[in-house]
Chain A
Amino acid sequence: MVFKLQATLIKDIRVLLRDKVGILLAFVMPVVLVVVVTSIQNSTFQLMNKNKLALLVANQDTGKLSPQLIESIDKIGMFKVTELAKGTDSAIINTKLHAKEAELAILIPKDFSVKVSERAKASASKALKSFGLDGDSIKAKAGATNPINMYYNPVLQEQLRLSVDGALRSALQLVESRETLRDLYFSINDKPLPAALEKEMLSSKTVINQVPTSRSGDRLIPNATQHNVPAWTIFAMFFIVMSLGGSVVREKVSGSFIRLKTMPTNYLVGLLSKQIVYLGVTMFQALVIFSIGVWLFPFMGLPALNIPSDILGLAMVTLLTGWCAVSYAICIGVFAKTQEQANGFGAVSIVILAAIGGLMVPSYVVSGPMKSLVNFSPLHWCIEAYYNLFLEGGKFSDVIQNIIPLIAITLLLQGITVIGLKRKNLI
Chain B
Amino acid sequence: MTHPAVNIANLNFRYPGNQTASFTGLNLQIAKGDRFGLFGPNGAGKTTLMNIMTGLLQSDEGTVALDGVTVGKHKYRVNRLFGFVPQDFSFYQELSPRENLEFFGAWYGLSKQKIKQKIDELLTVMGLEDVRDKQVQQFSGGMKRRVNLAIGVIHNPGILFLDEPTVGVDVQTRHAIINYLIELNKSGTTLIYTSHQLTEAEDLCNEVALMDAGKIMAQGSLNGLLKQHHHTDLEALFLSLTGKHFRDGV
Contacts and interface: CB of A to CB of B under 8 A. Distances in A.
Interface of A: 3-4, 6-8, 10-11, 14-15, 18-19, 254-256, 258-266, 269, 425
Most buried by B among A3, A15, A263, A269: A263
B91 A10 contact: no
25 contacts: A3-B111, A4-B107, A7-B107, A8-B103, A11-B103, A15-B95, A254-B90, A255-B86, A255-B89, A256-B90, A258-B56, A258-B84, A259-B84, A259-B91, A259-B152, A260-B107, A263-B79, A263-B107, A264-B77, A264-B79, A265-B76, A265-B108, A266-B76, A269-B107, A425-B58
B102 interface: yes
Given A7-B106, A262-B56, 20 more contacts: A4-B107, A7-B103, A7-B105, A7-B107, A8-B107, A10-B103, A11-B92, A14-B95, A15-B92, A254-B88, A255-B86, A255-B88, A258-B88, A261-B55, A262-B84, A263-B79, A264-B108, A264-B109, A269-B107, A425-B58
B106 A3 contact: yes
Contacts of B60: none
A15 to B, nearest CB: 5
A264 B80 contact: yes
Most buried by B among A255, A261, A262, A269: A262
Contacts of B82: 262
B112 interface: yes
A8 B104 CA distance: 9
Nearest to A15: B94
Contacts of A425: 58
B183 to A, nearest CB: 22
A256 B106 contact: no
Nearest to A259: B90
Contacts of B79: 262-264
Nearest to A267: B107
Given A262-B54, A265-B109, A11 B86 contact: no
A7 B95 CA distance: 13
Contacts of B84: 258-259, 262
B202 interface: no
Contacts of B109: 4, 264-265
B179 to A, nearest CB: 23
B162 interface: no
B99 interface: yes
Interface residues of B, number: 32
A15 B102 CA distance: 14
Contact of A4 (B86, B95, B106, B135): B106
A6 B105 CA distance: 12
A259 B86 contact: yes
Contacts of A11: 92, 95, 99, 102-103
Given A259-B104, A263-B107, A425-B58, A3 B90 contact: no
B201 interface: no
A139 to B, nearest CB: 92
Most buried by B among A8, A19, A261, A266: A261
B151 interface: yes
A256 B56 contact: no
Ranked 4 nearest A-B pairs via Cβ: A7-B106, A255-B88, A255-B90, A259-B90
A425 B104 CA distance: 20
Nearest to A257: B90
Nearest to B109: A264
A227 to B, nearest CB: 39
B56 A261 contact: yes
Given A3-B112, A263-B104, A19 B94 contact: yes
Nearest to A251: B92
A261 B54 CA distance: 9
A265 B90 contact: no
A265 B106 CA distance: 9
A134 to B, nearest CB: 97
B94 A256 contact: no
B118 to A, nearest CB: 14
A352 B104 CA distance: 39
Contacts of A4: 106-107, 109
Interface in B96-145: 99, 102-109, 111-112, 135
Nearest to A6: B106
Contacts of A262: 54-56, 79, 82, 84
Given A255-B86, A259-B86, A425-B58, A18 B108 contact: no
Contacts of B95: 11, 14-15
Interface in B186-222: none
Nearest to B106: A7
A261 B82 CA distance: 12
B58 A258 contact: no
A425 B88 CA distance: 20
Contacts of A263: 79, 104, 107-108
Contacts of A269: 107
A266 B55 CA distance: 14
A42 B6 CA distance: 71
A92 B54 CA distance: 83
Nearest to A4: B106
A262 B53 CA distance: 10
Given A14-B99, A18-B135, A256 B92 contact: yes
Contacts of B80: 264
A4 B107 CA distance: 6
Contacts of A19: 94
Contacts of A255: 86, 88-91
Contacts of B105: 7
Nearest to B85: A259
A267 to B, nearest CB: 10
A8 B107 CA distance: 8
A243 to B, nearest CB: 13
A18 B94 CA distance: 7
Nearest to B54: A262
